[in-house]
Every structure is written in C-alpha cells, then in structure tokens.
Amino acid sequence: MELSELKNRICSEFTGNAVDLNRALEIIDEDVSVFPFNEYEHLICHLIEMKGLTYQNYLDIRSDYISENPNLWIFEISAPRGFGEKFAQTYVQGKCPALKAANKKLDDSYSGEYDLWLDGIRIEVKASRAVDSDSDEPLYIKALARDTNKPFLMNYQQLKPHYCDVFIWVAVFRDEIVLWVINSAEVSANPLFSKGQHRGNSGNEGQLHVNQDNIHNLSKYELGDGDLGDAIRRAARKE
C-alpha cells in the first residue's frame, strides 16, 4: 500500500456523503503540509470530525499500512553511516552469524578497505533504497514497493572491486529487503559499472545505478531464501 493507495483506502472507509468527502479533499488539497502534520493525518481527523470515519477505522487503516510497509523506518535514517553501517551491515550479519567485522587480527594487511570477513573472504556491503526518481519528496514519502510500476533509482557508490572478493548489495524497498551477492570481478566487468566516481581517484572506485530497466540483470545474484554463507562462498569461487 503506497501513499496514493492510502488516500484511496481512507476515502473508501468514509461512510458520509460524497459532497462532504469532496469538500474535505478540497480542504486538504489547499492545505500546506508541514512535518509531522501531513495531509493524511489532516484528512483522517477531518473525516472523523464529520462522523464519517471512526477511531477504529483509523486503527485498522494504520495497522494494515504498517504491516504492508514494514521497512519505512529505514527510509527515515538520514545519516549515511547510520544507514550503510549501522543498519545494512547489522542486517547482513544477522543473516549469517559466522560473518565477522573485518580487523587486523583476521587480516594483518587490513586498513578499512572492506567490511566483513568469512573464511578468508573479504566482503564489502553496500546499501541503497528504492525511491521514486520523479519525486523531490523526502525519502520516506517517495519510498517504493518492490512491485512498483514507477521509475526508480538505487545508486551503489564508492565501489572498489579490487579491495574485496565479494559484494553484498542490500536493496531496501518499503515492503521487502533484497540481498544480491556478487563476485567483485563481475562488478568490475559489468558494463553499467562507472569508474572514476570522484575527481582525483585512480580510476579504481566507481558506482552502479540500478533502475527499473536493468534490475532484472541482478536476478541471478539474489539470495532469496538461500543460506548467505553458502552464497558468499559460491560467489568467491567464481573467476
């Protein structure tokens, strides 16, 4: 249930007449939303005041929306480190307890080039969130479900394939979290991989944009219900 569907759901629960509903919608359209007071809470309050929506209706709508969009809170994480490190790496390690945070005890040449370690395999975790590429709204407003028909964009940046053996890309949709496990050499060879992301680098660092037109190319790397540790080992064995 995306936001456009949420408004339709609220309106469908209204038991008053169409004239009152249309008047409420006109008022909402003319209003200026200021966080945390948005058009949806304004509409709900207005319809409850009209006696055409009950508090129980509101609770039911709220419960359904939260259950269908369990990952919206992730789109509210504003700090890059909070999203990339605290959320993404923690999420990945939760999928495979054998993963260890990289350090010099495991690899005496380690100096922060990658994130995780598994049986000698160097792993870099990158994460991105699927958002409507035509919207200028905040992330939590333009967050998209996996089956969306809207154009979207996910950017995996600061990719340094020569520093790791395997990439784990975390793709966050409002209703699903997808993991792609990819051999680093395959990232380097991907025609969509753009080298030289920042001025002054040696050309080894790059980025890759995932959108509605190319996401199908990542299907073969998707973890699904498989074992993450096994997927990492298989990816590392690829030439």
Q: Is the pLDDT of residue 199 over 60?
A: no
Percent of the chain with pLDDT over 90: 51
Whether residue 114 sits in one domain with residue 62: no
Whether residue 130 sits in one domain with residue 34: no
Q: Which of 45, 68, 91 is the last residue of a domain?
A: 68
- At 122-166, the pLDDT tens digits run 999 999 999 999 988 888 889 999 999 999 999 999 999 999 999
Q: At which residue do the structure tokens 């006109």 appear? A: 26
Report whether 152 contacts 213 (CB < 8 A): no
Indicate which CATH number applies to the domain containing 100: 3.40.1350
pLDDT at 4: 66
Residue 188 sits in which domain range? 72-237
Query: Alpha-carbon distance 143 to 45, whole Å?
Result: 24
Q: Which of 36, 53, 68 is the last residue of a domain?
A: 68
What residues form DSSP beta bridges with 166?
A: 123, 183
pLDDT at 31: 77
- At 169-196, the pLDDT tens digits run 999 999 999 999 999 999 999 988 987 6
Whether residue 93 sits in one domain with residue 64: no
pLDDT at 65: 84
pTM for the whole thing?
Answer: 0.81
Place 24 in a pLDDT band, splitting at 50, 70 and 90: confident
Report whether 196 contacts 185 (CB < 8 A): no
Q: Is 158 helix (H, G, I), strand (E, B) or coil?
A: strand
pLDDT at 126: 95
Q: Is the pLDDT of residue 198 over 70?
A: no
Whether residue 113 sits in one domain with residue 39: no
Place 200 in a pLDDT band, splitting at 50, 70 and 90: very low
Number of structural domains (the chain) is 2
What six digits make up the tokens of 68?
A: 């269908």
Backbone angles phi, psi at 101, to 5 degrees: -65, 130
Angle at 51 between CA 50 and CA 53, to 5 degrees: 105
Q: Which of 43, 68, 93 is the last residue of a domain?
A: 68
* Position with higher pLDDT, 66 vs 200: 66
